Amino acid sequence: MLNEHASSRARVMTGSALMLGLLAFAGAPAEAASTFSFPMVRANGLDAGCAPRAAAYVTIRSLGFAERMTVTVRGLPPGTALDLFTIQAADFPFGIGWYVGDLEVGRDGTVTKSFVGRFNVETFALGAGQRPVPAPTHAGDARGRNPAFAPIHTYHLGIWFNSPADAARAGGTCPANVTPFNGEHSAGVQVLSTRNFVAAGPLQRVD
């Protein structure tokens, strides 16, 4: 009985020590992490017949060295291809923009993707002097030299249809405009944005 009792006590002590170790390991980086969640809404200028049920929800979690941004889009036809950007302003003219990545709606009408990068109050672009731009690879690429500009923060998010055909599938009244918001610069119109943030944008709220 004594040996059994001692063995049981040893197992409890070992389990407690393991649990404390796991909590210490998990708690160290988590204490410094911050999380901010928010919705995106239908873009400005779309009429009632264009992507009427489109919506998105975003969660940004600090990793310390960068952020993980998880984006869920719903309410669009299966197979709809989309492009995500950080942008200076939520509505046209959008100012400075940066191509984050692609989203493709699944068979259930939703898509969730995570991106790791700088998605917080320090997110910015700058033109650090003028230099010859890379040889154009697509129609619409800049020629000559880039403009120089001081740091400009891109605190808003925008999601574009990857093509006018994707926009057409989301509703017969979606505009057929071609915009530069994909890798080939042949995207459709903006479908979702953070225009629900009237100030600088949601990324400004992430430390």
Cα torsion 74, 102, 190, 194: sign = positive
Q: Quick one: tokens of 110?
A: 């939703």
pLDDT exceeds cutoff 80 at 3? no
Please report the pLDDT score of residue 140 as a whole number.
86
- The CA distance from 166 to 82, in Å, is 8
- The CA distance from 156 to 197, in Å, is 8
Whether domain 33-205 has CATH 1.10.1740 = no
Tokens 């500009």 identify what position? Answer: 149
Is the Cβ–Cβ distance between 167 and 175 less than 8 Å? yes
Please report the pLDDT score of residue 17 as a whole number.
43
Mean pLDDT lowest for which of 109-113, 141-145, 163-167?
A: 141-145
Q: What is the pLDDT of residues 23-68, one digit of tens each?
A: 333 333 333 348 999 999 999 999 999 999 999 999 999 999 999 9
What value does the mean pLDDT of the chain take?
86
Please report the pLDDT score of residue 135 as a whole number.
86
Cα separations in angstroms, 109 against 81, 85, 122, 139: 12, 21, 33, 32
Please report the pLDDT score of residue 33 as a whole number.
43
Q: What is the pLDDT of residues 71-100, one digit of tens each?
A: 999 999 999 999 999 999 999 999 999 999
3-state secondary structure (DSSP) of residue 30: helix
- Give the largest Cα separation in the chain, rounded: 86
Q: Tell me the domain boundaries of the chain.
A: 1-32, 33-205
- The CA distance from 203 to 119, in Å, is 6
Q: What is the mean pLDDT of residues 104-118?
A: 97
Q: How confident is the model at residue 200 (pLDDT cuts 50, 70, 90)?
A: confident
* Nearest in space to 194 (alpha carbons), one of 154, 153, 157, 155: 157
Q: What is the pTM of this model?
A: 0.83
Please report the pLDDT score of residue 12 as a whole number.
40
